[in-house]
Amino acid sequence: MPVLHNRVSQAELKKILYAETEKRITISFYQYFPVTDPKIFRDEIYKTLNNLKVFGRIYIAHEGINAQVSVPESNMGSVRDYLYSFDPLHGLRLNIALDDDGRSFWVLKVKVREKIVADGITDPGFSMVHKGKYVNAAQMNAMLEDEETVVIDMRNHYEYEVGHFVRAIEVPSDTFREQLPMALDMLKDRKDRKIIMYCTGGIRCEKASAYMLHNGFRNVFHLEGGIINYTRQTREGGLESKFIGKNFVFDDRLGERITDDVIALCHQCGQQADTHINCRNDGCHLLFIQCPACMEKFDGCCSEICQTVYNLPLEKQMELRRSVDKGLMKFNKSRQRLRPRLHEK
């Protein structure tokens, strides 16, 4: 089967995006459902959405679909109708981005994956059929008022750092696959308590809720549509937001402002800041939090070492990258490696 891909360079695609005059809408969606042949489904999805000028990334697996895309405003109805034409996707919730300039993506990538969210689960008896109960924004707020309710954040450490729900417990890890067994261990003595789980758009906490039930927990809930849907409901319904700070997102924006609270600190000077950036040194691209003063001081780099490399002629930078261990010079969000590296001198 031929592989479908875009032959235009990334730089040219980005140039085309910025030349567009029509507004784009950034949306995310997912659905757990059986996909018999992910490759065939992948090709069909790609052809149709590419013709509708959709940009973004979509993952297809035997367990379903997971997508974050931007859509020209005039094609939004056609995209919705197309997705709804599949019986398992009819009525699918489309989470519309909260803080959006429409330039979050500039190419469409549809990939077949083993799973739509990597979970590390190998138990053949696990199923997504039995999952926690959905709660909406109003119900979430009510449950947060109950001190007996356990609130679990099923996102990574760098997401929790810039924003989270009040009273939320962090599962301190780098990946979702690490979090699942950690959450079981952390809550093993609270199997009869009400447990509510949340994440960005719902996909991780929905699977986590099913995993908890599979492992003997009894009163498990999860936030429908995640933080994105919760925030939309609170704003439309005039409800108080119990989520404070920023919601980290996995596109060029790297964050959506939910409340004015800044709860994180600059990784270089320790001042209040919650702006994530990737180190400008192309041999690094480390994700970290940087305040405006350190942005200017370090030229958007994570350390003086990277700043020195960043200011070298391009030819010299490329020469250096060819001569180093690529395992030490790649985009990395690891909790263990983050802070020591930022304070290198």
Tokens of 170: 């962090």
Q: How many CA atoms lie within 13 A of 4 on its CB side?
A: 19
Per DSSP, the residues of 83-142 read: HHTSGGGTT---EE-SS--S-S-SSEEEEE-S-SS------TT--SSS-PEEE-HHHHHH
Greatest distance between any 2 Cα atoms in the chain: 61
Instruction: Choose among 227, 224, 205: nearest CA to 92.
Output: 224
How far CA 257 is from CA of 67, 137, 238, 292, 294, in Å, comes to 21, 17, 17, 17, 21
Q: Spell out the alpha helix ranges (H) of the chain.
A: 10-19, 38-51, 76-84, 137-145, 157-162, 176-186, 203-214, 226-237, 292-297, 304-310, 314-323, 335-342
How far CA 99 is from CA of 16, 262, 266, in Å, comes to 22, 16, 22
Tokens of 66: 């997971």
**Residue 199 catalytic?**
yes
Which residues have CB under 8 Å from 179's CB, separation 6+? 154, 156, 171, 173, 208
DSSP single-letter state for residue 22: S
Of 199, 279, 294, 301, the active-site residue reads: 199
H or E stretch at 194: strand 194-198
User: What length does the chain have?
Assistant: 345
Give the active site residues: 199
